[in-house]
Amino acid sequence: MSPANHLPTSDHGGSLDLAGIGIGPFNLSLAAQLDSTPTLHARFFERRPCFEWHPGMMLPDVELQSSFLKDLVTSTNPTSRWSFVAYLVAHKRLFTFLNARYDAVPRREFARYFEWVADSLANLTFGTDIREISHDGRDFVLTTNGGRHRARNIALGVGASPSLPTWALSLQGDRCFHCSEAVDRLPHITSDRIVVIGGGQSGGEIVQHLLSRDQLPNSLKWISRRHNFEPMNDTPFSNQVFSPEYIDAFRQLNDERKHAALGTHILTSDGLSLSTINAIYRRLYTLRHIEARNPDVELLPNRDVIQVDRVQDGFRLIIRNGFDGGIEICFADVLVLATGYKFKLPDAIAPLQDRIALDRNHRLVLADDYSATWDGPRENRIFALNAGRYSHGIADSQLSLMAWRSAVIVNALLGRNHFELGLPQPVVRWGSAFRHSSEAMSL
């Protein structure tokens, strides 16, 4: 880690313009964009000793699901020294990377890019646990494991928390775990009966990994609520939802229409990559028809797990089949839950929690600039990254628009357009052409 990543732990007399809570890709992007604005004094804090990006899901051969140009900075700041291309040049492998002609960048390579930026930026501090965030009427006050810091604004970038079914809360352990723990847990699981729950990309990567091992499970079942194991919709028009123009249109919708739009576009963000689908199908073909191993593998779409009980050393699952309405029972030694993630306010912000506005679904109310509505001074803002799926659209939790969102926040902090964020003419017109016109009102 760079020496610049360390700060004295005494109470600072001056206030930061921005304090970032957590250093994942989203706050790392904000830190990289702020590196081009020397007039702003910002610092980002992370309790872990170094940068890590989903280490529990960094299985062999996993791939990035978006273009490498959708990195920390490029979409709004292409000359930045913190781009993925700059990383390749710095490590003298740009031409080798280009010659490899990856259809999708290895996720481990992108993780190393993030680590390189995190080790190089001077405005990051690791090994610092933010234990409490309060407000003294003028500034936010951050109490850490080694001191206090004052900041006029804060940016919450702690990442999403694993989302678990209610029935799983009392079953968690070595034999029932979220896929975010896969790298640590799976090596200790060999010939057991394994059930993977969740039909998205994470579930597919777990299944692909289990089928690629020399020692196959005694049985493997892959359960999904979706009506089939479907590919991510990666066509050009579908990918328009990952554009600033779409966010602008989405922001104009009422809550009901936003919810409907999110459902319509779910496979643009949470489908299976074609490479994962093909790898699983081809592996099953090889096992059954070329190697004649006849593994006990079942793919079970359109199923809803409605109850799980612990029986002896394993589990009994009661499943509703949405295809024919039947009820099925299966048994497992291990449950892997690829059941997604959800935004959660960090515990440290508890002193301010009652002052932060929530909508009727208990979600943050975010402005266009990603600042949360609260009852404090307007000049003190709480920016929330990865909390805007229901306010800014399906791209909010993805890497695709993180550089653009960071630029929006930097402009808000400066009160001027440091980054040019004017919208181009959209390829797809989402909203009504004359929705606000007097002609429309008279219809």
**What's 138's DSSP letter?**
S
What are the tens digits of pLDDT across the range 76-110?
Answer: 999 999 999 999 999 999 999 999 999 899 999 99
| 33-to-74, 113, 202, 206, 322 alpha-carbon distances in Å | 10, 15, 29, 34, 47
| Predicted local confidence at residue 434, as pLDDT | 52
What pLDDT, on a 0 to 100 scale, did the predictor assign at position 113? 98
Query: pLDDT 10s per residue in the chain (443 long)?
Result: 443 444 433 344 589 999 999 999 999 999 999 999 999 999 999 999 999 999 999 999 899 989 999 999 999 999 999 999 999 999 999 999 999 999 899 999 999 999 999 999 999 999 999 999 999 999 999 999 989 999 999 999 998 899 999 999 999 999 999 999 999 999 999 879 999 999 999 999 999 999 999 999 999 999 999 999 999 988 899 999 999 999 999 999 999 999 999 988 888 888 899 999 999 999 999 999 999 998 999 999 999 999 999 998 899 999 999 999 999 999 999 999 999 999 999 999 999 999 999 999 899 999 999 999 999 999 999 999 999 999 999 999 999 999 999 999 999 999 999 999 999 888 999 888 655 443 433 33
pLDDT for the residue 440: 37
The full length of the chain comes to 443
> Does some domain include residue 248?
no
Say whether both 30 and 74 belong to one domain. yes
Q: Are residues 76 and 18 in the same domain?
A: yes
Q: Within a domain: residue 437?
A: no
Model confidence pLDDT, tens digit, residues 326-356? 999 999 999 999 999 999 999 999 999 999 9
Which CATH number fits the domain that encloses residue 187? 3.50.50.60
- Based on the fold, state whether residues 170 and 288 are members of the same structural domain: yes
114 belongs to a structural domain: yes
Number of domains within the chain: 2
Same domain, yes or no: 372 and 282 = no
Q: Which range of residues forms the domain containing residue 201?
A: 166-232+271-337
User: Is residue 129 domain-shared with residue 75, that is, in the same domain?
Assistant: yes
Would residue 312 count as lying in a domain?
A: yes
From CA 429, how far away is CA 246, in angstroms rounded?
Answer: 9
Contact 203, 338 (CB under 8 A): yes
Residue 321 structure tokens:
């089949």
Tell me if 136 is assigned to some domain.
yes
Strand partners, 151: 16, 140
Query: Tell me, what DSSP letter sits at residue 286?
Result: I
Could you tell me the two tokens for 334? 């291990």
Q: Say if residue 278 is in the same domain as residue 387.
A: no
Residues 330 and 350 in one domain: no
* Residue 61 amino acid letter: D
Specify whether 106 is located in the same domain as 195: no
Residues 112 and 207 both lie in one domain: no
Question: What are residue 201's phi and psi, to 5 degrees?
Answer: -60, -40
pLDDT score at 3: 39
**Does any domain span residue 421?**
no
Nearest by Cα to 123 from 43, 62, 196, 231: 43
